Amino acid sequence: MRKRYALKNRTRFFAFVSAVAVIAFTALYAATVYAFKEKPYRIIEVKSGDTLWEIAQDYGGGNDVRRYIFEIERINGLSGGLIYAGTSLKLPAN
């Protein structure tokens, strides 16, 4: 027959479990608040003849053009950098 474990110090055990629960809920809350923080975007309509490079130069605010293009592609779900006239693009605000 197996020997059962007997809890010797219940107060210490419940204090430990409570501390772990508080830390876990605090971390979860902080991660949730940070993850759902709305980032500001600017929306533009692509005109005939526009390219992502030109848009990044015009709206990038002096940042690295390649990084700004990457952010535009990531935000809008683009691949290959192909855009069409009349399309609305979200641009990251500087």
**CATH classification at residue 87:** 3.10.350.10
Q: What is the pLDDT of residue 1?
A: 66
What's the N-to-C CA distance of the chain in angstroms? 69
Most confident of 14-28, 32-46, 51-65: 14-28
Least confident of 4-8, 54-58, 62-66: 4-8
Tell me whether residue 12 is in a domain: no
Q: In this structure, how many other beta carbons lie within 10 angstroms of the beta carbon of residue 84?
A: 8
CA distance 65 to 73: 12
Tell me whether residue 11 is in a domain: no
Tell me whether residue 3 is in a domain: no
Tell me whether residue 56 is in a domain: yes
Tell me whether residue 86 is in a domain: yes
Q: In this structure, how many other beta carbons lie within 10 angstroms of the beta carbon of residue 87?
A: 13
- Run of H or E residues at 75: helix 65-76
Tell me whether residue 33 is in a domain: no
Q: Is 74 exposed, middle or buried (0-12, 13-18, 19+ CB in 10 A)?
A: exposed
CA distance 85 to 91: 16
Mean of pLDDT values over 66-88: 90
Domain limits at 78? 41-92
* Average pLDDT score, the chain: 88
Tell me whether residue 27 is in a domain: no
Mean of pLDDT values over 12-38: 87
Residue scoring higher pLDDT (1 or 33)? 33
Tell me whether residue 32 is in a domain: no
Structurally, the chain folds into a number of domains equal to 1
